[in-house]
Structure 1
Amino acid sequence: MIASLALAPLAHADTAPPAGTPETVTADNLPTWQTNGIVWSLTQSGGTVYAGGNFDHIRPPGTADGDPSQLTRSNLAAFNVATGQPTGFDHAVTGTAYSSTTNPGPECDSVGTNEWLCQAIFRVKAAPDGSALYFGGDFTHVDGEPRSRLAGVSLSTGQLDPAMTPDINGRVRGIAVSATTVYIGGDFTQVDGQTRTRLAALDRATGALLPWAPAADDTVRTLALSSDGSRVIVGGDFPHLNGSNENAIGAVDASTGALTTWNSRPIQSPNGSQFSGVTELVVVGPTVFGGAHGEGGGVFDGRFAVDTNTGTTQWKDTCLGATTTIAVQGGIVYSGSHAHDCSSMGGWSQTNPATYQRLLAETADSGGASKNKLLHWFPSVNTGPADSYYKQGPWAMANDDTYLWVAGEFTKVGGVDQQGLTRFAPKSVAPDINPPEAPFAAPVATNASKTSLKVSWDATWDRDNTATTYQLFRDDGTTPIYTTTVNTNFWTLPTLSFTDTGLVTGSSHYYRVKVADPFNNKRSSPYGDAVTVKCPWFICL
């Protein structure tokens, strides 16, 4: 009996990684309540995840929009991190027309640059001590009370903050919260009638506008505080910050707003209509991790890590495809994007039509190497409804170091209906239960000699494991005649083969193959056509 196979790719981290490599969460999503619209932002505090966006109802997993058990939630909702169930947290955020269609109407056309969809809530952020939740976007009222694009809620009493009532003349996109201050960024140019060029700060206790007034010359999309609270790290589409060439990312003093040291430029400067912008920032210890989007070819739109104290770039990945969100957990950077070419990181090359992966994982620490490492974690989410304008799929992530929540405009996860929200966890919490991918075609047998058949089949792959084990069965046998384990992924699928010897000339045989991941989740191929053993013409001629 003779076996042969194509060279398999090198192993990558997954839910059963080699020693010294971080273990990803599984690609098998957990039961989670859904929304009936887009979730733009998530934040986690204690045992609760808060979701903000454009939706007016939430419903149980496995149910359709309009289900009798759905609950009314107006653009803001809260869920138990560990169970995916909703909490009693309920505040009506209104004033921006909600619609599930591509373009809700002309009232939204002037909101920001090239923004077709009014975003009732664009950003939610919990205070570091868990005492309050702040949220910003395009809304005008909360619980019937006037609130101009920014509001706060006490998480201990559930009451709307009566002091946080600034009058803001443009969208709030980014929020960072310290013990005393709420920092905001976005598209605005005035707060409470005073000039604030896309950045401002408010006193948490009184709601008063503070003198802090750095300026960005284009959209600010995201804010983060350094771990010591001394700096506000600013990300967005701007080429200048405080008049200095701090393209797309920079840092300002949390007290004065003055520029602070920033020793590198992870984002290249604009080149005509081609530019990159920063969409998300997450601080973990001394490092700020970021995601970028790009307009035009040849621009950076992956993930990066920067020292928060010096601004020195630690690593940049080189996958292509705009990044919308990131989360850092267990030494891994998880991201939402429309990655379509990761060949420079050992992944797949550009295809036509493009092959997209909407969720990725990579090592958070470069380990002293020139770049970090792409990991084997590829859950399946779609881009959203057929009439979706953005068609990006994931837009937000949050985590508590066990559960990884993902939100966006998607309507399917793992091929199953699931809208707006989903979550993942390590195999210790969410056992790896899904088998390798379909389709898994029937093996093909051909004559090898007058007493043998060569059986060949194309390998498949698993979304969260590189190792796949194949068992070959002859006829209706229940004991495999051959077993082999290879490493596979969706862009490198070897053809495997085995020569079944010692057969009787003139006998007929058919075969099937079973494939399993390291946790014995199996998928079986169909039976192949029966083939009669005979001497091949090129041998017996």
Structure 2
Amino acid sequence: MAVVAVDSLSFRARVRSCALAAALLAALVSGTAGPAAPAAAADVSPTPAATVGATGKAVYDIVVLPSGRTILGGDFTALGGFARANLGAVLASGAADRTFTPRTDGPVHAIAASADGSTLFIGGRFTEVNGEPRHNLAAIDARTGALVTDWRADTTGGVPTVTALAVHGDDLLVGGRFSGIDGSSKEKLAKLDATTGDLVAWNTWVNGAVLDMKIGPDGTTLWVGGEFKRIRGVDRPYFGAMDIASGEPTGYAPNGNSSRVLALAVSADGRWVYTTNNGNRTRGYKPEVSPDARWVRRADGNTQALAIWRNSLYLGGHFSRLTDTRTSRPFFAAVNRFDGKNKRWNPKARGANRGCWALVVEGNRLHAGGGFTHFKKRSQRLYARFDARS
């Protein structure tokens, strides 16, 4: 995910400056002056931009390429009126890319782009890509969708689904529910050569499925969340961090996740890590301060996706509201990422209770994928883009 700050309007900057000065003055008078709270910032618009939508069940993952093209993966049959089998691309203009036509015979749950943006890695639950055998993992050309024929690393197992992908330099990190990959026994979490697809020796293991992973901004730390309780034999229930090179768990042992972690987000400075779990809780951790969450928010359904933009943490899932607010928040919500307090942003989404599965910030835009069909009175199916307020 790209997290890029957007310049604020000068008027809002002046308002924030005045508010900060007032707060400091009050603190000095009371004798409790300390570090200033993060300044407020406007959210993206709650009204989606005019773009194409998709037809089918849901969009499960999104990658935005440097060219501005947005790649969608999921369980769908069309994009903008063009037949598409679980993969599609949206141009920066919001129109469907007619030249990008890959297809799979099953849902795509995860997408990652190579370091140079020329190749896309796709993972999910499928057995064919463009009519060729590929089991749950494949590489395709990012421009045309053509299969990279000399790249193959099938996963095996009872339900060998790939649910998370991340690129780290020349390596592709693969997480899921598989028990074997590229012809070798390697469970739940593996490292592949991104160029060849060959398995890379990596002495790490987890004892349960990996559902999400994020690389820290230092490039040396991998945060993982899922159904596991241990990383290399060390207790890390459902959520933890490891050294990418060695696979050793870091010394940080977070508390509070009592059920499987569904999604993760890491701030651009690496100081905050956010999780959602199957108990409908979203937590904000500050690892340098404490193993305990700094704040916790509860919804009346699962949160499946997180994204950070400035001081906001965007939540997407299958909830209808955050439980400590009377205002409905169907499928989407935003909180202050430093204290978890609710924000007014509310796109008022609707759909057949398939909610939101993917959130990605790109520049001054928030991209969303899921099973939603409408926002307020406007039709926008499975994919939506929210631009920054002008």
* Same structural fold, with TM-score higher than 0.5 when normalized by the shorter chain: yes
Q: Which ranges in structure 1 are unaligned for 5 or more consecutive residues?
A: 1-15, 60-69, 97-119, 269-274, 350-354, 385-390, 429-541
Give the corresponding residue for 1:75.
86
CA distance in 2, matches of 1:163, 1:266: 44
Contact between 2:297 and 2:340, CA under 8 Å: does it hold in 1?
no
Q: 1:165 to 1:228 in 2, by over 3 A?
A: same
- Tell me which structure has the larger Cα radius of gyration: 1
62, 84, 107: which one pairs with 1:42? 62
Normalization by structure 2: what TM-score? 0.82
Structure 2 unaligned regions, length at least 5: 1-11, 17-38
In structure 2, C-alpha distance between the alignment counterparts of 1:288 and 1:186, rounded to whole Å: 24
Aligned match of 1:402 in 364, 369, 375?
Answer: 364
Q: Out of 330, 340, 343, which is 1:375 matched to?
A: 343
Does 2:263 align with 1:285? no
Relative distance call for 1:376 and 1:174 in structure 2 (3 A) is same
Distance (Å, rounded) in 1 between the aligned partners of 2:322 and 2:219: 35
Residue 294 of structure 2 corresponds to residue 315 of structure 1: yes
Does 2:162 correspond to 1:172?
A: yes
Q: Secondary structure at the match of 2:342?
A: coil
Trace 1:385-396 onto structure 2 (pairs within 5 A).
391-396=353-358
Q: CA RMSD in A?
A: 2.6
Deviation at 1:90, TM superposition (A): 2.1
Q: How does 1:129-528 map to 2 (within 5 A)?
A: 129-155=116-142, 159-169=146-156, 170-268=160-258, 275-287=259-271, 289-294=273-278, 299=279, 301-307=281-287, 312=291, 315-320=294-299, 321-339=301-319, 342=322, 344=324, 347-348=325-326, 355-364=328-337, 366=338, 371-384=339-352, 391-428=353-390
Distance in 2 (CA, whole Å) between partners of 1:310 and 1:122 is 34
Query: 1:85 corresponds to which residue?
Result: 95
Instruction: Return the letter of the residue paired with 1:378.
Output: N
The structure-2 alpha-carbon separation of the partners of 1:86 and 1:157, relative to structure 1 and needing over 3 Å to count, comes to closer
Residues 413-453 of structure 1 deviation map (CA, whole Å, 9 limit, x = unaligned)? 2233221111111221xxxxxxxxxxxxxxxxxxxxxxxxx
Asked whether the equivalents of residues 305 and 359 of structure 2 are also in contact (C-alpha less than 8 Å), the reply is yes
Deviations 1:140-198 (A, max 9, x none): 12122221111122336754323331120100001110120000111101113322120
| Matched residue type, 1:76 | L
Q: Determine what percentage of the aligned residue pairs are the same residue.
A: 25
Amino acid at match of 1:286: G
Distance 1:278 1:80, change over 3 A: same
Give, in whole Å, the separation in 1 of the partners of 2:342 and 2:229: 29
CA contact (8 A) 2:313 2:336 kept: yes
Other structure's SS at 1:409 match: strand
Paired positions, count: 351
In structure 1, what residue type is equivalent to 2:220? S
Cα distance in 2, alignment partners of residues 52 and 287 from structure 1: 30
Distance 2:227 2:289 in 1: 21
Normalising by structure 1, what TM-score?
0.60
Deviations 1:290-317 (A, max 9, x none): 34132xxxx452242444x898556333
Q: Give yes or no for contact 1:41–1:395 (8 Å, CA) kept in 2.
A: yes
The one-letter code matched in structure 2 to 1:137 is: G
Deviation at 1:238, TM superposition (A): 1.7
Matched-pair contact (CA < 8 Å) for 1:358–1:393: yes
Aligned equivalents of 2:144 and 2:101: distance in 1? 13
**Cα distance change of structure 1 residues 168 and 25 upon mapping to structure 2, 3 Å threshold:** same
